[in-house]
């Protein structure tokens, strides 16, 4: 199940499902140590002797955010119970505190007592083993702890705090958990449990006929009892409502610090652009890691997850954020990459948020021969993005500090890791992590990286290296034209495979990532060789169902929903569709030529979830999200494409710049 609502601050990230249940909770790193792990932290209500959890079918729900904030705005209505809820959640912009405001409306014409039940299914540090949950009678709170992770829960109606509580065993010896204890409207008050434990608290209020009241609930996260105790006191003294309002104000100020001309883009596209900036921000750890996605439901399919820092995803996200004016949010990413870089000058497959090396399926030996288990484009794209980071903010001191520790060693590796005969990069794994060879996308990334390194060398007066990097970049470009362009078909190949007997196998698969030819500056967008390539992408990768969009490549089998390659070459991906739009924007010479890319931006907006969250891909028949959501790369690519559209529109409407309608 995708995660339609995400909130966070760079240390604490919380995901909610479409039932408004907390399903993922990461602390103190974004994407590392999930203290909920996909289980359900439930929300329920008791009224008139009846009990209902919010995942029951009788509830009607709408999910969204308060305008231009990372504070949620969700509504739930139960017609049979005559109860309407407005639920707002936010994570404090600085402290590790999650706050919830619930406004309860009694839609009956009689006064009623209402009890709300909030359930905690924590598995601290990602495992149920060895947890403790306890009621604290001095603070009137419940907290869970294990080693150096403490989570304290509290709440108030404005008149009273926690009304009832219960702590017990879950998923062990036939015990389901204390949430079952809540279903009669009463909690038994068990004060402590250890092992695989959960807890439930309740808040009680009385509502007159047709009136509403507001209550608050919060979670404090820390590395000790004293820390969460102090944070709880901070909430009590400041007022949870005031803190939640400040969260909204902070994100509005953050979002609107950059004024932008959105040309003729419709408001719905502009709104999704702004939501994308906010959602991307939640996926960035304050120590630099940019996480690919943090929807733990993918564990049902892979027994692994997307909660890793892929340098490629991170670099392209950092690139989009810098160009959008949020370079400060992504600057630590380059420090993260500096620290992760191997002594040989390359980055590994992926990393955990704390900088340790992540899981991988790339072998160190294949067919008896040793190899580097890398995707070379990941190293290259970091340098390319870093130059754009400099170009946006001119932070010369920051980039100078990275010159000896990141830029030079990575550029040297890219320059040397080439086939001596072909002058192309040596084989590595492709950006989809599925095959090993020499790929056009990787070559484009290496070219862009070496050009970036040459510019840095020139900036810092390192003339000898500038000449070497620039010469290597031109060699890669010429080798691409010699070996990766197919004259017969009039388009670029996906790549080459070097066989053990010395033969070279050419891969003619039509591939969406070939947008890199113009996007990374190898050739102009209107070059006939680029046009031939992208025209083939549009012809062969279009999904010919009412859903539409574009697949990654011909025959894509990842989460395949159809076996009709002519009609459905693969599931439509957000990024693939936007890459086609980017090319249409780049080659446009009139406003009329912006009609098609605008339609693709509208397509993405229409296929976002109600809350504005973008998935990785869509079901080609239903349009429903497939795989993880939100995917950081999808949101970053939308940000980048919106900016390129607006820039091209301004260029074409500038006096002397092109046609007007």
Determine phi and psi for 412, rounding to 5 degrees: -60, -45
How would DSSP label each residue in 9-75?
Answer: -SS-EEEE-TTS-EEEEEEEETTEEESSTT--B-EEEEETTEEEETTSTT-EEE--BSTTSSSB-EE
pLDDT score of 446 more than 50:
yes
Q: What is the pLDDT of residues 14-60, one digit of tens each?
A: 999 999 999 999 999 999 999 999 999 999 999 999 999 999 999 99
Q: How much is the pTM?
A: 0.97
How far CA 140 is from CA of 136, 160, 223, 234, in Å, comes to 5, 11, 20, 15
Q: What mean pLDDT do residues 354-382 have?
A: 96
DSSP H/E element including 550: none
Query: In 264-326, which ranges are continuous DSSP H helix?
Result: 267-282, 299-302, 311-323
Residue 657 confidence (pLDDT): 63
For residue 393, whether the previous peptide bond is cis, meaning omega lies within 30 degrees of 0, is no
Q: pLDDT-derived band of residue 374, with 50, 70 and 90 as boundaries?
A: very high
What are 57's two structure tokens? 């079918």
Instruction: Please state, rounded to an integer, the average pLDDT across all residues of the chain.
Output: 96
Q: What proportion of the chain, given as a percentage, has pLDDT over 90?
A: 93
Among 266-270, 390-394, 600-604, which is the least confidently predicted range? 390-394
Q: What is the pLDDT of residues 173-200, one digit of tens each?
A: 888 999 999 999 999 999 999 999 999 9
Dist CA 500 CA 352 (whole Å): 35
Determine phi and psi for 246, rounding to 5 degrees: -65, -35
Q: What is the pLDDT of residues 137-161, one digit of tens each?
A: 999 999 999 999 999 999 999 999 9
pLDDT score of 592 more than 70:
yes
Residue 295 confidence (pLDDT): 84
Q: What is the pLDDT of residues 255-314, one digit of tens each?
A: 999 889 999 999 999 999 999 999 999 999 999 999 999 988 776 555 578 999 999 999
Residue 401 confidence (pLDDT): 98
What are 638's two structure tokens? 């939308």
Contacts of 481 by beta carbon, 8 Å cutoff, 6+ apart: 529
pLDDT score of 223 more than 70:
yes
Q: What mean pLDDT do residues 480-487 have?
A: 99
What structural domains does the chain harbor? 5-255 (2.70.98.10), 258-286+530-651 (1.50.10.10), 288-508 (1.50.10.10)
Pair type for strands 141-146 and 485-486? unpaired
CB 460 within 8 A of CB 469: no
pLDDT score of 412 more than 80:
yes
Residue 303 confidence (pLDDT): 58
Dist CA 460 CA 481 (whole Å): 31
Residue 175 confidence (pLDDT): 82
How far CA 636 is from CA of 279, 312, 586, in Å, comes to 9, 12, 18
Residue 336 confidence (pLDDT): 99
pLDDT score of 612 more than 90:
yes
Rg (CA), the chain: 27
pLDDT score of 660 more than 60:
no
Q: What is the pLDDT of residues 90-143, one digit of tens each?
A: 999 999 999 999 999 999 999 999 999 999 999 999 999 999 999 999 999 999
Residue 299 confidence (pLDDT): 60
Q: pLDDT-derived band of residue 655, with 50, 70 and 90 as boundaries?
A: confident
Q: What mean pLDDT do residues 565-584 have?
A: 97
DSSP-derived 3-state class of residue 329: helix
Q: What mean pLDDT do residues 349-372 have?
A: 95
pLDDT score of 643 more than 60:
yes
Residue 621 confidence (pLDDT): 97
Could you tell me the strand order of the sheet in which 22-29 lies?
A: 5-8, 13-16, 22-29, 32-34
Q: pLDDT-derived band of residue 658, with 50, 70 and 90 as boundaries?
A: low
Q: pLDDT-derived band of residue 661, with 50, 70 and 90 as boundaries?
A: very low
Q: What mean pLDDT do residues 369-380 have?
A: 97
Residue 2 confidence (pLDDT): 87
Q: What is the pLDDT of residues 452-476, one digit of tens each?
A: 999 999 999 999 999 999 999 999 9
Residue 563 confidence (pLDDT): 87
């Amino acid at each position: 199940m995708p995660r339609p609502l995400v909130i966070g601050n760079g240390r604490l990230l919380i995901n909610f499902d479409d039932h408004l249940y907390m399903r993922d909770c990461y602390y103190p790193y974004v994407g590392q140590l999930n203290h909920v792990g996909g289980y359900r932290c439930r929300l329920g209500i008791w009224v008139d002797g009846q009990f209902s959890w919010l995942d029951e079918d009788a509830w009607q729900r709408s999910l969204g955010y308060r305008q231009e904030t990372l504070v949620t705005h969700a509504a739930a209505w139960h017609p049979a119970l005559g109860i309407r809820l407005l639920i707002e959640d936010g994570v404090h912009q600085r402290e590790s505190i999650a706050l919830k405001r619930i406004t309860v409306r009694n839609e009956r014409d009689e006064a009623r007592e209402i009890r709300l039940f909030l359930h905690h299914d924590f598995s601290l540090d990602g495992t149920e083993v060895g947890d403790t949950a306890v009621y604290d009678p001095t603070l009137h709170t419940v907290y869970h702890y294990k080693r150096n992770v403490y989570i304290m829960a509290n709440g108030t109606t404005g008149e009273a705090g926690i009304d009832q509580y219960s702590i017990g065993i879950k998923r062990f010896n036939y015990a389901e958990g204390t949430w079952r204890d809540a279903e009669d409207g009463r909690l038994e008050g068990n004060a402590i449990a250890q092992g695989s434990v959960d807890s439930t608290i309740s808040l009680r209020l009385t509502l007159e006929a047709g009136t509403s009241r507001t209550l608050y609930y919060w979670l404090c996260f820390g590395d000790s009892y004293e820390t969460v105790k102090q944070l709880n006191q901070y909430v009590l003294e400041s007022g949870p409502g005031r803190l939640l309002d400040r969260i909204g104000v902070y994100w509005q100020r953050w979002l609107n610090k950059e004024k932008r001309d959105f040309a003729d883009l419709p408001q719905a596209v502009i709104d999704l652009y702004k939501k994308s900036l906010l959602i991307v921000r939640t996926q960035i750890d304050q120590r630099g890691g940019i996480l690919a996605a943090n929807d733990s439901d993918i564990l049902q399919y892979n027994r692994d997850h997307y909660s890793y820092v892929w340098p490629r995803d991170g670099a392209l996200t950092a690139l989009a954020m810098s160009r959008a004016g949020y370079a400060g949010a992504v600057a630590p990413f380059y420090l993260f990459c500096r620290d992760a870089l191997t002594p040989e000058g390359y980055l590994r497959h992926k990393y955990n948020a704390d900088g340790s090396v992540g899981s991988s399926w790339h072998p160190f030996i294949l067919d008896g021969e040793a190899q580097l288990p890398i995707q070379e484009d990941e190293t290259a794209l970091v340098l390319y993005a870093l130059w754009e980071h400099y170009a946006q903010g001119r932070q010369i001191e920051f980039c100078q500090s990275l010159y000896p520790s990141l830029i030079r060693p990575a550029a040297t590796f890219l320059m040397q890791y080439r086939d001596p005969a072909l002058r192309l990069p040596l084989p590595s794994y492709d950006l989809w992590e599925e095959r090993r060879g020499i790929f056009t996308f990787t070559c484009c990334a290496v070219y862009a990286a070496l050009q970036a390194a040459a510019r840095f060398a020139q900036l810092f007066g390192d003339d000898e290296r500038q000449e070497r990097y620039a010469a290597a970049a031109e060699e890669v470009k010429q080798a691409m034209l010699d070996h990766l362009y197919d004259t017969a078909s009039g388009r670029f190949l996906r790549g080459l495979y070097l066989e053990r007997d010395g033969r070279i196998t050419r891969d003619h698969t039509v591939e969406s990532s070939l947008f890199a030819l113009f996007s990374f500056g190898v050739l102009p967008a209107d070059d006939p060789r680029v046009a031939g390539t992208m025209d083939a992408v549009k012809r062969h990768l279009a999904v010919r169902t009412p859903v539409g969009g574009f697949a990654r490549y011909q025959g894509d089998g990842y989460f395949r929903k159809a076996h009709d390659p002519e009609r459905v070459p693969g599931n439509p991906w957000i990024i693939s569709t936007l890459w086609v739009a980017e090319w249409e924007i780049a080659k446009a010479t009139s406003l009329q030529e912006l009609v098609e890319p605008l339609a693709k931006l509208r397509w993405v907006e229409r296929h976002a979830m109600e809350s504005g969250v973008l998935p990785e891909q869509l079901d080609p028949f239903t349009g429903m999200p497939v795989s993880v959501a939100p995917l950081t790369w999808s949101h970053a690519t939308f940000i980048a494409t919106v900016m390129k559209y607006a820039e091209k529109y301004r260029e074409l409407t500038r006096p002397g710049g092109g046609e007007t309608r």
